């Protein structure tokens, strides 16, 4: 794993644990299954004539390019906070196509990842909602399948 990627993952794990979370890294097969499940749930649904996850490089582009309906910015953060108050199990996936890292997270509440300034997506096991943070000025994005 690239040193800067490992540093980003370590910072993510430390941030989550500091908030009282238990964190377990997904095995490569588990990550691949979780990403495929997420991509199926959040596949382009609005005016997508041609879409390739690999060509877009970041999973959150499905939201920024308006191929799947989402909320952005402060409104997204409010929706995230309101939707996650009673949930305690999450999956965090890298939103970068070239980084295959995922975490299973058990926490007393959903944890905002905006301060990390990285490309992460948090969702639930049933994919009832998804929150994607970016390292760009865009986002974050909150969506439902």
Cβ atoms of 25 and 102 closer than 8 Å: yes
Residue 55 has pLDDT above 70, yes or no: no
Could you tell me the pTM of the whole model? 0.89
SS3 of 41-66: HCCCCCCCCCCCHHHHCECCHHHHCC
Please tell me the distance from the alpha carbon of residue 61 to that of residue 143, in angstroms, as a whole number: 12
Greatest Cα-to-Cα distance within the chain, rounded to the nearest angstrom: 43
Which tens digits make up the pLDDT trace of 20-37?
999 999 999 999 999 999
Cβ atoms of 102 and 27 closer than 8 Å: no
Which of 34-38, 52-56, 60-64, 97-101 bottoms out in mean pLDDT, i.e. has the lowest? Answer: 52-56
Neighbouring-strand partners of residue 131: 122, 142
Between residues 57 and 34, the one the model is more confident about: 34
Please tell me the distance from the alpha carbon of residue 140 to that of residue 43, in angstroms, as a whole number: 18
pLDDT of the residue at 58: 87
Give me the mean pLDDT over the 35-44 stretch: 88
Token pair listed for 122 = 């948090």
Which tens digits make up the pLDDT trace of 87-142?
788 999 999 888 899 999 999 888 999 999 999 999 988 899 999 999 988 999 99
Half-sphere exposure of 74 (CA within 13 A, CB side): 0
């Amino acid at each position: 794993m690239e040193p800067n990627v490992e540093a980003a993952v370590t910072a993510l794990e430390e941030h989550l644990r500091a908030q009282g979370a238990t964190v377990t890294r997904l095995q490569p097969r588990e990550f691949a299954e979780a990403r495929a499940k997420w991509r199926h749930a959040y596949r382009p649904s609005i005016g997508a004539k041609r879409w390739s996850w690999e060509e877009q490089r970041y999973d959150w582009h499905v939201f920024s390019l308006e191929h799947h309906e989402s909320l952005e910015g402060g409104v997204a953060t409010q929706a995230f906070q309101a939707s996650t108050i009673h949930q305690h199990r999450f999956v965090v996936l890298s939103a970068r196509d070239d980084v295959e890292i995922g975490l299973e997270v058990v926490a007393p509440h959903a944890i905002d990842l905006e301060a990390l300034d990285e490309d992460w997506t948090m969702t639930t096991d049933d994919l009832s909602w998804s929150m994607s943070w970016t390292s760009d000025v865009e986002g974050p994005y909150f969506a439902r399948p």
